[in-house]
């Protein structure tokens, strides 16, 4: 039986990342048996509250990738307006393709099959640098960042410390 296109594409993207690593993250398979589950280490971007952190996350790809987006969830503790309390990453490019039923996002801002693991993770790094307060996945983090920045920074610093201890 022929290997699914999604599996071949993911193998190619993994090989490309091994050959040409991208600054700011590393990615690999969670287990050698499953090309659809990846472990990711996102390095806290310089000059952000997350600098110095090593945040672990999981990327789970659907069998019909790249027609549909993967799901990404941080397993390291995170405090960020666009990361839900359960660790799920909420950014436009990881939202199902097509029209947004709430009318907030344009179709071209949502998932497109041209996205790769690299473009996803670069978008996540950008999100850490510049949160979107318009549609927070963690309302408490968004409110704290707007209303009590010192407390927000302290909470993020704790996440950075914990991520360093997890290594």
* Cis bond upstream, residue 18 (ω within 30): no
pLDDT attached to residue 69: 97
10, 41, 90, 144: the active-site residue: 90
CA–CA distance, 25 with 40 (Å, rounded to integer): 7
Strands 37-43 and 25-29: antiparallel
CATH code assigned at 134:
3.10.110.10
Tell me the longest C-alpha to C-alpha distance in the chain.
57
Full domain range(s) for residue 48: 5-166
Specify whether 90 is catalytic. Answer: yes
pLDDT attached to residue 2: 67
Which single residue is written with the structure tokens 């987006």?
69
pLDDT attached to residue 1: 61
Residue by residue, pLDDT tens for the chain (167 residues) are 667 899 999 999 999 999 999 999 999 999 999 999 999 999 999 999 999 999 999 999 999 999 999 999 999 999 999 999 999 999 999 999 887 877 678 888 889 999 999 999 999 999 999 998 888 999 999 999 999 999 999 999 999 999 999 88
Number of structural domains, the chain? 1
């Amino acid at each position: 039986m022929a290997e699914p296109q999604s599996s071949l594409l993911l193998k190619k993207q993994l090989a490309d990342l091994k050959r040409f690593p991208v600054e700011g993250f590393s990615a690999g398979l969670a287990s050698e048996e499953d090309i659809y589950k990846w472990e990711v280490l996102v390095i806290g971007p310089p000059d952000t509250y997350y600098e110095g952190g090593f945040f672990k996350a999981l990327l789970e790809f659907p069998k019909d990738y790249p027609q549909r987006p993967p799901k990404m969830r941080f397993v390291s503790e995170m405090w960020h307006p666009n990361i839900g309390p359960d660790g799920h990453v909420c950014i436009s490019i990881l939202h199902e393709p097509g029209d947004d039923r709430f009318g907030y996002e344009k179709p071209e801002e949502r998932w497109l099959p041209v996205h790769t693991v690299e473009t996803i993770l670069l978008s996540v790094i950008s999100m850490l640098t510049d949160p979107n307060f318009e549609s927070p996945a963690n309302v408490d983090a968004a409110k704290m960042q707007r209303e009590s920045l010192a407390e927000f920074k302290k909470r993020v610093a704790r996440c950075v410390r914990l991520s360093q201890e997890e290594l």
